[in-house]
């Protein structure tokens, strides 16, 4: 199975390059890829995942302005996630593999777009919810009910925060993302995802305040933390739950 790892990683790099285009065009929906500084249309040799960034030394071929590190990072992270999914699911190319790959792509877009623009686009979140819902329907009523309950409770929790804070602490995009997480993860993984989302968010938030990059009143997108928590629960949720139960039994 080792021969598939580099193939899947390269496939992930290519998909990551496509995700960068999606992220960019959600904000600026127009034509072919071009440099945001000099507006020069990019040729195929400028768009090779990671390799073009390295060859060009992180600068535009035409105006020499710096290229954002977002592009190679998204490509590399996508490649690594695809490999991790392949390994986690037992080296199989089945429906679950395809769904995990597809939802991971949606989550990567949400992570980057919310980080950059402080909004979770409906054009991404609604198709993601539809894909997971259809997949759960195909898996049978038991899974659909469990995942549906997890989705409703997670979304309800975030909706209560939105209502109490009148939208100052959370946005409706976070409610929709929590619903997607519940559908995708089910119980008890949704609890793991939310715990790590708030934990990581608190750590980074305190760090930014101590570094004087943010204040208590600064707006910080929560979508990236929810996406990170989702991946933690997706790959390690069962082990974390088992560790906790074993710890509880021995206390």
Distance of CA 178 to the CA centre of its chain: 12
CB 170 within 8 A of CB 220: no
pLDDT tens digit sequence for 199-219? 999 999 888 888 877 776 777
List of residues 6+ apart from 179 with CB closer than 8 A: 129, 151, 152, 154, 155
Pairwise pLDDT comparison (108 vs 30), residue with the higher score: 108
Provide the token pair at 228. Answer: 């990170």
pLDDT at residue number 43: 76
How far is Cα 171 from Cα 155, in angstroms, rounded to an integer? 11
pLDDT tens digit sequence for 24-72? 888 776 667 777 777 777 777 877 888 888 888 888 888 888 888 899 9
- Residue 166's pLDDT band, with cuts at 50, 70 and 90, is confident
pLDDT tens digit sequence for 145-156? 999 999 999 999
């Amino acid at each position: 199975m080792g021969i598939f790892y580099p193939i899947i990683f390269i496939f992930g790099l290519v998909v990551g390059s496509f995700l960068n285009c999606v992220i960019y065009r959600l904000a600026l929906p127009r034509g072919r890829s071009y440099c945001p500084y000099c507006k020069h249309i990019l040729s195929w040799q400028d768009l090779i995942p990671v390799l073009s960034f390295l060859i060009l030394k992180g600068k535009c071929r035409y105006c020499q302005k710096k290229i954002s590190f977002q592009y190679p990072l998204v490509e590399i992270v996508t490649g690594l996630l695809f490999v991790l999914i392949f390994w986690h699911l037992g080296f199989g190319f089945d429906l679950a593999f395809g769904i995990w790959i597809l939802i991971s792509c949606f989550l990567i877009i949400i992570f980057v777009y919310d980080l950059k623009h402080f909004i979770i686009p409906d054009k991404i979140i609604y198709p993601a919810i539809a894909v997971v819902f259809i997949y759960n329907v195909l898996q049978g009523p038991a899974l659909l009910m469990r995942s549906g309950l997890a989705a409703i409770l997670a979304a309800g929790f975030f909706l209560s925060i939105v209502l109490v804070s009148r939208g100052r602490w959370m946005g409706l995009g976070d409610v929709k993302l929590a619903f997607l997480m519940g559908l995708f993860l089910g119980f008890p993984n949704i609890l793991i995802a939310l715990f790590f989302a708030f934990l990581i968010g608190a750590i980074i938030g305190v760090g930014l305040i101590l570094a004087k990059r943010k204040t208590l009143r600064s707006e910080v997108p929560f979508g990236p933390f929810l996406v990170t928590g989702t991946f933690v629960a997706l790959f390690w949720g069962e082990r974390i739950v088992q560790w906790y139960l074993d710890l509880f039994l021995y206390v």
